[in-house]
Structure 1
Amino acid sequence: MLAALLVLVVLVVAAGAGLYMRAGRQLQHTAALGDYPGRPAPGRGTNWLLVGSDSRSELTRQQRRELHVGNNDVRNTDTIMVLHSGDHGPTLVSLPRDSYVPIPGHGSRKINEAYADGGPKLLTRTVEQATGLRIDRYAEVNFLGFVRIVDALEGVRLCLDKPLVDEKSGADFPAGCRRMNGTQALAFVRARYADPEGDLGRVKRQRQLLGAVADRMAGSDVYLDPSRLTRVMDASLAALTVDDRAGVGQLLDMGWSMKRIAGGGGAAATVPVRQPGVMVAGAGSVLRWDESGAKRLFLALRNDDPIPTSADK
């Protein structure tokens, strides 16, 4: 889902000063960062917290039916990633939504519940406390916004090695390659119950979708069509919310890092997991991190060192 961020920044760079100024006027902000006792000190480089929220209040009845979601406006996060940029190139680390971590003031729970309990600020604090990283910037994309971005691109091409059928997400795709619209792409990236890897499999599809949107954006039919260019940029800005101090300039820096990763010029990893699918009373099936592996990974990011090769996947 975070591919929408890449769409925004590449469009702004390609279109020049006019769209840059337009983007600045439309950019939405939220209070996502704040000081508190025991907050991690700043490390080397810049850390973005990238979030895909599953707010569904603006979905149409047909979209709800196709995505198999109810009418309740839940406030969880299907996608949580940390993007680190520094001297050794960008690194994108996925934090599975079922990660079992302490949420300040709420005990240990799934990490995505921090957003439901206290919005962006509590989620940011939870990630900082769990990783030891200072989060410098925050960016969020919502359900409906993501659908509109892919539709503005007139779909993205996605390939599957085997069929993907998941009744709860609405995914029903045969093996092979196909062009997916926004609703289909969201069903593809949300599927996890029919995947033997569960939440870890969904993380891989999130990265696959990121690459697919980046490829679509690189097409001349987007860059050289002013009308489509504007539609995609407006859809991206409507879907995107950033922290109070982030502007278009910061988004450009972040976007180039995302572009490098999508092109194979950076590193992508998932936090090491010790026990996937562990049942915990009151929390359901959770993922427990490999504490030593996670500590090495986040220490490398904090010091702006290359991440351990065992985590790069």
Structure 2
Amino acid sequence: MLRGKLKLIIVFLLACLAAGGGFLAARLFFFPPVSGQETGSTDTGGSQPGTLNILLLGTDARPGEKVGNTDTIILAHFDGERLALLSIPRDTRVNIPGHGVDKINAAYSIGGPDLTTSIVADLTGVPISKYVLLRWDGFIKIIDLLGG
């Protein structure tokens, strides 16, 4: 049982890293450097020019469930040719507006990805431009694509 869970966790983390690599590739191909200027996207979400911050969220909501908690919260920071990933533990205690102090993974079930993004931005002091949400059914499809 533990071995199966460990495999799922490893595959999910690999999927998140693959998604991060995909974002980096998209950034390089769709936002190429202009001669004599720094690289960057037009939507920096208030961050420094040439950077992009994306929140990667993995929720535990099963097929048929509308909401769940985020078991994976990773802040991806792209800076020119560099990619940095920060994993935020799901049990990190934060103040959730209108709710009080709770685990950060509960923010998604209370206010969705927008609230979670706002809380992570406040927690880290980093403005976040976009988020990517992976639900359970999407996770199953990734596992199937990888050969089960």
> Normalization by structure 1: what TM-score?
0.33
Deviation at 1:133, TM superposition (A): 0.9
Structure 2 counterpart of 1:132:
125
Residue ranges of structure 1 left out of the alignment (5+ in a row): 14-40, 59-71, 156-313
Structure 1 counterpart of 2:102:
109
Taking a change above 3 Å as real, the CA distance of residues 48 and 106 of structure 1, as seen in their structure-2 partners, is same
Q: Select which of 62, 85, 94 maps to 1:56.
A: 62
CA contact (8 A) 2:63 2:136 kept: no
Structure 1 position 6 matched with structure 2 position 6: no
Structure 1 counterpart of 2:9:
none
Number of paired residues?
113
Q: Return the letter of the residue paired with 2:103.
A: K
Structure 1 position 93 matched with structure 2 position 93: no
Q: Which has the higher relative contact order, 1 or 2, with Cα contacts under 8 A spaced 6 or more apart?
A: 1
Taking a change above 3 Å as real, the CA distance of residues 7 and 88 of structure 1, as seen in their structure-2 partners, is closer
After superposition, residues 258-297 of structure 1 pair within 5 angstroms as none
Higher Cα Rg: structure 1 or 2?
1
Q: Select which of 47, 57, 64 maps to 2:53.
A: 47
RMSD, aligned CA: 2.5
CA contact (8 A) 1:4 1:149 kept: no
Quick one: percent identity of the two aligned structures?
42
Report the Cα distance in structure 1 between the residues aligned to 2:112 and 2:96, rounded to whole angstroms.
Answer: 12
Report the Cα distance in structure 1 between the residues aligned to 2:20 and 2:46, rounded to whole angstroms.
Answer: 27
Report the Cα distance in structure 2 between the residues aligned to 1:87 and 1:7, rounded to whole angstroms.
Answer: 17
| Segments of 4+ moved more than 3 angstroms | 7-10
CA contact (8 A) 1:4 1:146 kept: no
Please list the CA deviations of residues 159-218 of structure 1 after superposition, one character each: whole Å capped at 9, or x if unmatched: xxxxxxxxxxxxxxxxxxxxxxxxxxxxxxxxxxxxxxxxxxxxxxxxxxxxxxxxxxxx
Structure 1 counterpart SS, 2:137 = helix
After superposition, residues 1-313 of structure 1 pair within 5 angstroms as 1=12, 3=15, 6=18, 42-44=46-48, 45-58=51-64, 74-87=67-80, 89-155=82-148
Report the Cα distance in structure 1 between the residues aligned to 2:20 and 2:79, rounded to whole angstroms.
Answer: 21
Report the Cα distance in structure 1 between the residues aligned to 2:16 and 2:87, rounded to whole angstroms.
Answer: 16
Taking a change above 3 Å as real, the CA distance of residues 8 and 125 of structure 1, as seen in their structure-2 partners, is closer
